[in-house]
Every structure is written in structure tokens, then in C-alpha cells.
Chains A and B, each alone.
Chain A
Amino acid sequence: MNRFVTANPSKCIGCRTCEVACALAHSDGAGVEGLAPDTFKPRIRMVRTADVSTAVMCHHCEDAPCVNACPNNAIVYRQNSVQVEQERCLGCKNCVLACPFGVMDVVTVPAVRQFAGMTMSLGVKAQAHKCDLCVGRDAGPACVSVCPTNALTLMDREAMDETLRRRRERAALEAAEVAA
């Protein structure tokens, strides 16, 4: 099963700590001082409506519409998650339109190449931009670790089984109550 991060709207207080943590986890070590409004592109977004505040991000679907939509096979299943091979991304935005949750985006980043010890600018490169589950970060998903109300959880098979077990138990109890 693919792992994914899930948010509990009855715990989220809309503080956006997760957004900053996500942006920082993908800042190539630049740290907070590298953050600025025009380059701030977290892969998790807090959404606030009249009645709901919660964070939304990639579900790492098992049969992912973005994977199916990509004409260049740039999106793949790896490490129990959906990952983008950025070198292959064309920036065509098929995945953006395919994602039913609105959590895939295409962004442009400065493209550079190292040649004989020199850094050469190659204009811009498109990137399909979404939650990568912070693979490669030792401490796991950055957003999960900072959320002050523990509204975020990393769902893997084990966590999912535990949730299902609890739900079934509750259903059984409720059924018993109805019968009584």
C-alpha cells in the first residue's frame, strides 16, 4: 500500500505551520532565511472555508490519475509512494488537471548545469510539484512532525490497519446498541 499523510479537520486550527515546514524541508538546506513570498511553494496547503479548516496534500493514490495521465512516464510508484522523476517532466500539466484533489501543480525553477567547474544557466525547468512524503528526510514527513495539534498523521499499512480495527470495533458497538 502507498503511504500518505492525512489531516484531521476536527483538529486542524489553520495555523499553516505545516506549510512552512514543508517548504523548508525542500529548500536544499537554505533554511528559513531563504523563504520569500514569490518562491514559497509548499506541497501541503491549509484550506479554510466557512466551516472547515484543514490541510490538503497528495494522497499517493494506488491507481493514481496523475501517473496515468503523464505522457512521458515522469510519475512513478516508488518507496510505497507516488514520485516524480523531475528530469522527465515536460511541464505539460496533464497531471495537474487529472488530480481530483487539486494537489498537483506545475512550477518552474531556474535550470542550471555544471560544466568544467562552472555553473551555466539553462533558463527554466518545469517541475511537477507535489508532496513527495519527504523521502530522504531521516525524521520522516516534516509537516507531521511540526503540527502543533497533531492533526496530521502518516498512514502506512500498519496505521491504516489500526484505524480500520478501531472503526470496526466502533461499528460493532453501535450495532449492539441498536440491537439492545
Chain B
Amino acid sequence: MEKHMAVCPYCGTGCKLNLLVEGGKVVGAEPLNGVTNEGELCLKGYFGYDFINDTKILTPRLRNPMLRRSRDAAFEAVSWDEAIQYAATKLSAIKAKYGPDSIMTTGSSRGTGNETNYVMQKFTRAVLGTNNVDNCARVCHGPSVAGLQVTLGNGAMSNSIPEIEHTKCVLVFGYNVADSHPVIAKRIIKAKERGAKIIVCDPRKIETARLADLWLPLNNGSNMALVNAFANVLINEGLYDKEYVANHTEGFDEYKAIVDKYTPEYAEAITGLPAEDIREAMRIYAAAPSATILWGMGVTQWGQGVDVVKGLSGLALLTGNLGRPNVGVGPVRGQNNVQGSCDMGVLPTEFPGYQKVTDPEVRAKFAKAWGVESLPDQIGFRLTDVPHLAETGKLKAMYVMGEDPAQTEPDLALVRKGFEAMEFVIVQDIFMTKTAMFADLILPATSWGEHEGVFSAADRSFQRFTKAVDAKGDVKHDWEIISLLATAMGYPMHYDNTKQIWDELRELCPIFYGVTYEKMEGLGAVPWPCRDLDSAGSKYLYEGNVFQRPGGKGLLFATEWRPPRDQLTEEFPLILCTVREVGHYSCRSMTGNCAALQTLADEPGYVTINPKDAKALGIRDQELVWVSSRRGKVISRASVTDRTNKGAVYMTYQWWIGACNELTIHAVDPIAKTPEYKYAAVRVEAIADQVWAENHVQQEYAKLKGGLSNAVARATKKAPAYA
């Protein structure tokens, strides 16, 4: 049996593991003693590898480039030469006719790795000539990046994952760590065993709430009010660190003026929390010699996400919990490499290494290195703008790599219209996906396990992963495909391997310069910033309390609470909040093709509901129900549980039948453009004929699965030469 070192492709914890290979097939995974996982893996890490082997449980792997010459034609398998030539001709024509800004690309925060993302943004900027490149951070931790960049100067986790177990207080805010990052949950449990106090702010009784010293079940949509009230208590009870605030922060007076109104009693009406609990939480937090704030999508997926992020960083600033070990602020990244795609400049605002596209010196540096006369200086489009831009004719072509927006974006009906309105869509993936069904051209790539590269864990650590098996079929590495396309469009691009790409980007990014492949050999993890070849990187940021802002001080920022956008009415009386579950990941194209994970949970997925609400609606546990909003209607299975708060229901977002994003609203944060996935007004209805409903689910599921696999099967049958 061979063993090949890899980094888990499922979450930002970045667990190191060995893939066990027999006869060219991955047959198992075993944990390695990586820096962040120390010999542990979770459900997905252990049992989430068989998608590589093309199990076809949900969707088939792609094996050939596939093209359809008109939208009503079927896909046909074509050669790489033809596929690349076709794409180059189409993109060049669209660029000539409508200008470079009519084209948009995406990076991928998943299995492909940092090198591919670097190459994708280089292609977008140097070859297409636009900054229209973005990644799914837009729909998750975009607000964390935007918020923290303003208040502290750096959008990433301030401290490392291993430090969590040495902190004396963990404030968990809108972050279901047990389901999102099980191996980080272990760190929190360890911290508790070492005497740390755990405070959890979440409307649901999530696993961590069960383990917490204090659980604050705030009303859905009241985050800002609670954070302001926290600040109010810290200031009015004199719990804050006056010296720290005087020396290392600015904006205190304006900040104080805004939070003054948010006394715990005032916040009680908005949050539904007893004023005394709000006080108690801050007394615990302020008293701890070291304290860490961790948050997730419960903070960011709101119309007011950026403001709340800024507010949370304010709590750390007020108490001096930054700039040293075992403290800090932690927006814990969901997808395994979403930190990486941001690091690599797959953002409309930034080049790799967080260098602004609006800075002429930076542009000149990249233009010189990439051998082009100039680079675009206008900030590009955001992913969440796409449906609207396509419908209004501003966006004509889209090159989607390793993402499935037709499953993961809000208000899917709107997304589909957007895709239909575009002239040319390329989807590059390892699986046939719902998004690929909208493509004109499908480009098949190698999967995690079939290529090597570098990922960024949530705590900024770069780690290498290696190839375990050879890819089957006529597929290429993502970065090779992009290079071929660039060359065909008149910009010769060629790399021999990922190391060559890595070394090119290292030279261009001062904060990554010291992170060499050699340093990341084996179990090596190097957290950026790492500016020198002899540096081991930075476990924590803001050493000496110097913040990465002009003047070096942290900014205290508060703003008024705004209620959520969607309105509860008699017709739509319940709040729908979208969440995730431990066994499935993202759009499910990977986990849905893993036998173990699919065995534990399958369509149509669950809508969890409080027993009181269920009773009033005549709904029993495990029954199928209708869930509808102003935007759509789907069928789901009720899970009646006390862990769900009254008045709200929760659905996970990876299901095709129970697709909660048919219901969610396209209301975005004004700055980060992140959608308000956490609050849509819905109605839940019992279904009298359960037998009909069960059949309906099975039929619809079979139809969707069949549609995707037939599209692939038909194409490959037509052209066996390329099979």
C-alpha cells in the first residue's frame, strides 16, 4: 500500500492526512500529526475521499472537454485543441465587441490549490484585462475581510488554530464549530478542560452551546445590538483596558457615543436576552487574562455583516486581546482554501498578497512581471452582482472554475436567469454540476488527490499537499487549462509544475516571500506574513500592538443596529436561516459522491423546527413538508427538535430537492456584497399525502441526477475517440 501526504479538502482547519492507495485507487485516509490537527480527523477527513474514484452516487466525474454549439443542442465531447480554440475565439470576440469588463472569472476555494488561483487571476488581469475575478469568500467570510481590514488592517484570523486551546475565554459568536470544524471543536473542549470559560452567542442550541458556561440565545437578526451592548457594558462598567485603548486605538469618543444608547436593558428588547446575561458575558470576557473571539457565517451572512465584524474586533481592542499569543479575533474560514483564494488575489479589489489594484505602483510591478503594458485599475465586479449584471447586459461571458453558483448563491431563480442571459459560459470542474448544465463549454480538471499544490488553512498557514493517484480520462490540471487558454488568446503562458508558479508569486508578494516549498515539506506549515527566507512565519498578527493601518492604531467602530431586510408577515411568519451540517460540504458535488457521507444524510434534507411551531402546524417529526418564501417553494423533511428556537427554521444548503437557496433573499451587505442567507421569511406547511410526497422526492431526485449523468454519457458516446 502506498501513502501520499495530503491536506483535507473540506474545511479551513487544514488537517494533514495520508491517502492510502492500492492499485492506483484511493482506499483510505489516515490522520497525520499536522500542526492544526495533531493526529485527528473528522467524519469528512476520514471517509470523504471516494469521490475521487468516480462513484457516480450523485454525479459523474468529467472525463472529456464537452461543447454545445447552441443552448438547445446536447453536449458533445471534443478534443482539447478544439475546446481551447473555441473558448479563445469566443472570449476574444466578446472582449473585442463589448470590452474586457464584459467577462468575469472565478477562482476556486476548494481542491485546486493556491497556484491555480494565482494563474486564474493573472489570466483575468493580464490576458482578459479586467479585475472581474472573485471567489466564494463573497458569500461567506467576505465581510470578515472587509471589516477587519478597516479596523485592524488585516482580514484574516489574528491567531493560530493551536492557540485556541490555551486561551482562557472563548467567545463563540454565530459559529457552529462542531458542524463546521470538528477538529477545532476539539481545541475548544481542550481549552475548557484547561479552565477556559466558554460563552456562546447563537439562537440555536448548537453543540458548543451545550458545553458553554454561558449561552446567549439571541433573537435571529439582532447581532449588532448585542455587540453594541457588549461594548456598552465594557465601557460603562469600566471593564475595558484604558491604557491599551489610549495607546493602541483610535475613534473611542465616536464609538462610545454610539454604543452609549445600547445599554443591556435597551438591547434586551431587540435581542430577547436578559440584561444580566449580557453583563455577565462581558464580565467573564473582560476578566480572562487571555480571550479569543471566534465567529462564522452567523455573523457574516447578513445585510449588516461588515458592521458586526468591526464591532467584534472592537471588543478585542477594548480589552487588549490582540497582538500576543492565545488571544485575538478568528473569522474561521469554512471552505478548505477560501483563505487561499483571497491570499492569491482572486478578488476584484486586490492582487495576490493583498496588494490593491488601485495602487499605481503595485500595478506597475505586476505589469512588469507579467510582461504587459498596463493592468486594469478599476475595481471589478463581485460574484453576487452577476445575475443582475447579466440580465442588464453588462456581463456577456463567465468562466466559472470549481464552483457551483447554481446551487450555492441566494435566490436561485435569479441566478439561473443570469446564466441564461449570458452569451458564453465556461465551467471548469471535476464533476458535472447544476451550474455546468448552463455551460456552453465544459472543461474537465484533475481532482484533489490527482494533483499537488499549496492550501492556506483558516489561520493563514500555507501547507503543501501531494498527488496520490493518476487522473483517469482526458483531463488536465486547472492551471494547465488556463495557461493553454491564455496562450491561445495570444499571451504565451507555460508552467512546468506548481512550484514554478509558487516561486513566481512568492517573488511578487512580500508577505509570502519567505514561504518556500522546502519550508512546507512534509508536515511543515508556514503562516504568513513570512517576509524572509529564514523566518518561520507569524503565528499571530499585530506583534507589539502595531496594527496594519496608517498610524498603526486599531479603529474602534460601532454603528446602529438595522433590522433584517425580509419581512415576517402572516403569510410568511417564520424565519428561515441556512446552515450546514457536519457530513456534507458546499454544493455537495464532492461529499454527495462519498458513500459514507451520503449514507448518513441524503435528499431532501431537513428543515429543523421547534416542537411548539411544529405542533401548531400539525407537523410530525420526519414528515415531508412544504417550505415556501416570496421567491420559491421546496419540499423538505421536518426534524422536530428543541434545539431549534421557536419562530425560526433551519435548512442546510447542499440539497437539490430541499434547495433552501430557492427561498433565500438576494439582499446583500452594502460593502462586502454578502447575501443575507440567515434571514428569509418563510411558511412551512404539512403535506397530507405523505406517500405522494415521498414518491415525488424520489422522482425529482432521479430526474435531476439522470439529467446530469445523461448529459455526460451522451456526449462521451458520440465521440469515443476522446473517451
Binding site for B on A (CB under 8 A): 10-11, 13-17, 19-21, 24, 31-37, 40, 48-53, 146, 148-150
B422 within 8 A of A: no
Contact at B42–A50, with CB atoms within 8 Å?
no
Contact of B46 among A11, A34, A146 (CB under 8 A): A146
Known: A31-B28, A32-B594, A51-B210. A13 touches B182 (CB 8 A): yes
A13 touches B178 (CB 8 A): yes
A124 to B641, CA, bound (A): 37
- In this assembly, does B41 line the interface, its C-beta being within 8 Å of a C-beta of chain A? yes
In the complex, what residues of B have CB within 8 A of residue A31's CB? 27-28
B178 contacts A32, C-beta separation under 8 Å: no
A42 vs chain B, min Cβ distance (A): 10
Q: How far is the CA of A17 from the CA of B642 in the complex (A)?
A: 23
CA distance A17 to B43 in the complex (A): 5
User: Is the CB–CB distance between B55 and A33 below 8 Å?
Assistant: yes
CB pair A149–B189 under 8 Å, yes or no, is yes
Kindly report which residue of chain B lies nearest to residue A31, judged by CB atoms: B27
Chain B, residue nearest A36 (CB):
B599
Are A37 and B602 interface neighbours, CB within 8 A? yes
In the bound complex, CA of A116 to CA of B185 (Å): 55
State A14–B27 Cα separation when bound (angstroms). 25
Contact status A148-B186, CB under 8 Å: yes
B389-418 vs A, CB cutoff 8 Å, 1 = contact: the mask equals 000000000000000000000000000000
Nearest CB of chain A from residue B43's CB, rounded to whole Å: 4
Question: Are A15 and B186 touching (Cβ within 8 A)?
Answer: no
Most chain B CB neighbours (cut-off 10 Å) among A11, A13, A21 = A13
Do B599 and A149 touch (CB < 8 A)? no
Chain B residues within an 8 Å CB radius of A33 = 50, 53, 55, 595
Q: Does the CB pair A32–B596 fall under 8 Å?
A: yes
CB–CB A34/B210 < 8 A: no
CB-CB under 8 A for A53 and B182, given A32-B596, A36-B595, A37-B599: no
Is residue B183 within 8 Å, beta carbon to beta carbon, of the partner chain? Answer: yes
Which of A11, A21, A35 contacts B599, CB < 8 Å? A35
Chain B residues, Cβ within 8 Å of A52:
210
A6 vs B643: C-alpha distance when bound (angstroms): 25
Is there an interface contact between B43 and A13, defined as CB atoms closer than 8 Å?
Answer: no
Q: Judge whether B523 is part of the interface by a CB distance below 8 angstroms.
A: no
- Among A24, A40, A49, A146, the one with the most B-chain Cβ atoms within 10 Å of its Cβ is A146
Determine if B657 is an interface residue (Cβ-Cβ < 8 Å): no
13 A-B pairs besides A13-B178, A14-B582 with CB distance below 8 A are A11-B189, A15-B43, A15-B179, A15-B582, A16-B582, A31-B27, A35-B596, A36-B599, A37-B598, A37-B602, A40-B600, A50-B642, A148-B41
Mark out the residues of chain B between 566 and 594 whose CB falls within 8 Å of any chain A CB in the assembled complex: 582-583, 594
Q: A146-B46, A148-B40, A149-B189 are in contact. Are A20 and B596 (CB under 8 A)?
A: yes
Overall SS of chain B's interface: helix
Q: Given that A20-B43, A20-B46, A33-B50 are contacting pairs, would A148 and B183 also be in contact in the complex, using a CB cutoff of 8 Å?
A: yes
With both chains docked as a complex, state the minimum distance between the C-beta of A163 and any C-beta of chain B, in angstroms: 15
Chain B residues near A53 (CB, 8 Å)? 207, 210
Alpha-carbon distance between A32 and B583 when the two chains are bound, in angstroms: 14
* Binary A-proximity of B630-644 (CB < 8 A = 1, otherwise 0): 000000000001110
- Closest residue of A by beta carbon distance from B43: A17
Set B183, B205, B602: member contacting A50, Cβ < 8 A:
B205
Q: How far is the CA of A146 from the CA of B28 in the complex (A)?
A: 13
Assess whether A149 is in contact with B641, with CB atoms less than 8 Å apart: no
Q: Which of B28, B47, B53, B596 has the largest number of chain A CB atoms within 10 A? A: B596
Q: In the complex, what residues of A have CB within 8 A of residue B211's CB?
A: 10
Known A148-B185, A148-B186; contact A16-B583, beta-carbon cutoff 8 A: yes
Cα(A51)–Cα(B212), bound, Å: 12
**Shortest beta-carbon distance from A50 to chain B in Å:** 4
B529 to chain A, nearest CB (A): 30
Give the interface centre of A10, A16, A148 by most chain B CB atoms within 10 Å.
Answer: A148
25 A/B residue pairs, CB under 8 Å, sorted by A:
A10-B189, A11-B189, A13-B182, A14-B178, A14-B582, A17-B42, A20-B46, A20-B47, A20-B599, A20-B600, A32-B49, A32-B50, A33-B53, A37-B602, A40-B599, A49-B642, A50-B642, A50-B643, A146-B41, A146-B46, A148-B40, A148-B185, A148-B186, A149-B185, A150-B186
Q: List, in ascending order, chain A residues with CB within 8 A of B186's CB.
A: 148-150
Contacts of A15 in B (CB 8 A): 42-43, 178-179, 182, 582
| CB closest chain-A residue, reference B185 | A13
CA of A14 to CA of B205 in the docked complex: distance in angstroms?
A: 13
B3 to chain A, nearest CB (A): 16
Most-contacted residue by chain B among A10, A17, A36, A52 (CB, 10 A): A17
10 interchain residue pairs of minimum CB distance: A50-B642, A13-B178, A17-B43, A35-B595, A149-B186, A148-B42, A13-B207, A35-B599, A148-B182, A20-B596
